[in-house]
Structure 1
Amino acid sequence: MTKRLAVVGCGQWGQNHVRTLREIGALAAICDADPARAAPLAERFAVPARALDDVLADRAIDGLVLAMPPRLHGPTARRAFAAGKDVLIEKPIGLDPADAEETARAAAEHGRLLMVGHVLRFHPVFERLDAAVREGAVGEVRHIASTRLGLGRFLGMDVVWDLAPHDLSLVLHVAGAAPERIETLRRTVLSNETDAADIAMTFPGGVTAEIHVSRISPYRDRRFSVVGTEGMITFDDLAPEGRKLALYAHQVRRADAGFTFRHADPEYLETEPGLPLDRELRHFLHCIETRESPRTGAAEAVETVRILAAASPRRAD
């Protein structure tokens, strides 16, 4: 029997969750602090709009998806854990490491699942990249680079908090460890918050990573690359289907006279079809059913908030 979920928060991402869970057949209710926003969505998807207290008290509801302002994620999730619900929280799960750690502790104390909505981890192209890297397609991993540029939203939110969580999740997964060193270059250009930033990280064993985020770029760029001793691989999210994942057998070798280089044309790898949000929510439902730990669980959620706090002097609202 499909588990029943309620979506709390009917903003842009909340509506995406509502639509996808309705298609899966797992949507039980929606909640929003503004009844006027919840009502048309409830009518459109033929699902009741209910108060949060009612949802928490309903034993027929197995879990919640929280898509609220980040400052509300922690307190709401902790209430849900105490009520016996499993929770998927949209990124970030909190606005400071202490709050994130408190939420993770609450989940553990009540024996409930905590999953963070790092949806790109469920992108089939990233999953194929991850498999190729682990199979040794690029040799030993030495560097990871992620770029997320565009003309973005100006909602009073620091670009580091708004955009970097996506990339941090991918970097942390490939690196397989928490960074030992974090350096950030931030630039305020068109607002009173950070509009562009470069985050550099060093991991145990000497693996390095760089994340470039900007909401003031005149062009869009969404690429994630892994550089290894035997080659390089790139996930280009804006490339056409069939060319999103490119493996380059480039090599750099130290020689007596300096270095030698081998340049190779890209080999485009096949990937499975599928929508990341659909795959993410099905994974959450699977974890509720089996009690398996989510792939994007509490430890990753807390570490992401820790890095965001270290990389930005200002918090999201």
Structure 2
Amino acid sequence: MAVRIAVIGCGQWGQNHVRTLAEIGALAAVADRDATKAASFAERFGVPALTPDAAIADPTIDALVLALPAVLHGPVARQAFAAGKDVLIEKPIALDPADARASAEAARAAGRLLMVGHVLRYHPVFQRFAALVAEGRIGRLRHIVAMRQGLGRFLGMDAVWDLAPHDLSLVLKIAGAMPERIEATRRTVLSDDTDIADITLAFPGRVGAEIHVSRASPYRDRRFSAIGDEGMLVFDDLAPEGQKLACYRHEVRRQAEGGFAFRMADPDYIETEPGLPLDRELRHFIRCIETRSEPETGAAEAVETVRILALASPPR
């Protein structure tokens, strides 16, 4: 029997879940606090329009996708777990670590799945990137750099909470560990909140990482890099198809007479699988429901991400 999933929250990102689940054939219903909006999507995709409470209570619905304001994710998710639903929660799952931990504990106690919507983890280019790092293509991992900047997205949430979760999730995957030290600097430039932030992390084995996010940049940048002692990998999400993943065999070597020498190398572009990240994410969620397996981006990572974001933010 096919998995039946309802989407609660038909806003800017929730509607993408609605459309993609409909294409997959798993959309069972839509729900939104705005009944008119829910009715519009229900008519378009041929499914019932429900209230959020009705979607949670409906015994014919197996799982939910929550795409709500972050402050609502925890209470709604815990209600869903108590009703026996598996839940995919859009990032961030909460705005404070205690709320995130409460949702993870509620899922565990109810025996349900909690998956966080870190969609870039399911990007086929990033998944190839992660596999190359794991197999040693760039030698020993030394440093990770994430850049995410552009102009806009002033949505009532500061740049750390809005922009950094995606890259933080990528960093945690590549580092393969939780950070031992976290530092952050934040700057207000064009709004009344954090517009630019730099987060640095130190991991076991002397692996470092830096994340730069900005919504006050005159140009867009979506690059993610891993630096090893035998090469460097770059995932450039804005590059043309066929050039999104590159390996650079730059060399830096110690000279016998002292100091260092380096040699630049041209990029070696690496072929990757086709596929849309959200489609892959939702199909992974469905497989986890069917097999009762832990999601790639499960409860532990969701809680750790919120903990790090809280440490990188000013006290509320």
What's the TM-score, normalizing by structure 1? 0.98
Alignment partners' CA distance in 1, 2:57 and 2:42: 20
**Partner Cα separation in structure 2 for residue 109 and residue 64 of structure 1:** 18
Matches within 5 A, 1:95-244: 95-244=95-244
Local SS of the residue matching 2:49: coil
Letter in 2 for 1:177: A
d(CA) in 2 for partners of 1:179, 1:238:
28
Task: Note if contact 2:88-2:114 (Cα within 8 Å) is conserved in structure 1.
Answer: yes
Per-residue displacement from partner, 1:132-181 (whole Å, max 9, x unpaired)?
11111100000000000101211221100000001000000000111111
In structure 1, the partner of 2:251 is: 251
What is the 5 A alignment of 1:289-304? 289-304=290-305
Query: Which residue of the partner structure matches residue 18 of structure 2?
Result: 18
| Aligned mates of 2:59, 2:38 — CA distance in 1 | 22
Distance 1:311 1:135 in 2: 31
1:314 to partner: Cα distance: 5.6
CA RMSD of aligned residues (A): 0.9
Cα distance in 2 for residues equivalent to 1:133 and 1:179 = 18
Write the letter of the residue equivalent to 1:47.
V
Residue matched to 1:4: 4
Q: Supply the distance in 1 between the matched residues of 2:122 and 2:52 (Cα, whole angstroms).
A: 28
CA distance in structure 2 between the partners assigned to 1:289 and 1:297 by the alignment: 15
Unaligned segments of structure 1, at least 5 residues: none
Letter in 2 for 1:311: A
Q: Could you list the per-position Cα deviations for residues 64-116 of structure 1 after superposition, in whole angstroms to 9, with x for gaps in the alignment? A: 00000000000100011010000000000001000000100000000000000
Following the alignment from structure 1 to structure 2, what is the Cα–Cα distance between the partners of residues 195 and 314? 16
Q: How far, CA to CA, are the matches of 2:244 and 2:139 in structure 1?
A: 21
Letter in 1 for 2:260: F
SS for the counterpart of 1:148 is strand
Equivalent pairs, count:
315
Name the structure, 1 or 2, with higher relative contact order (CA <8 Å, separation 6+): 1
Counterpart contact for 2:180–2:204, Cα < 8 Å: yes
Match of 2:268 in 1: 267
Tell me the secondary structure at the aligned position of residue 261 of structure 1.
strand
Distance 2:208 2:308 in 1: 15
What is the alpha-carbon distance in structure 2 between the residues aligned to residue 154 and residue 95 of structure 1?
Answer: 17
With structure 2 as the length reference, what TM-score do the two structures score?
0.98
Runs of at least 5 residues in structure 2 that lack an aligned partner in the other structure: none
- Contact 1:158/1:314 (<8 A) preserved: no
Q: 1:54 deviation in Å?
A: 2.0
- SS of the counterpart of 1:282? helix
Q: Percent same amino acid at aligned positions?
A: 72
2:130–2:174 Cα contact (<8 Å) kept: yes
Residue in structure 2 matched with residue 44 of structure 1 by the alignment: 44
Residue matched to 2:282: 281
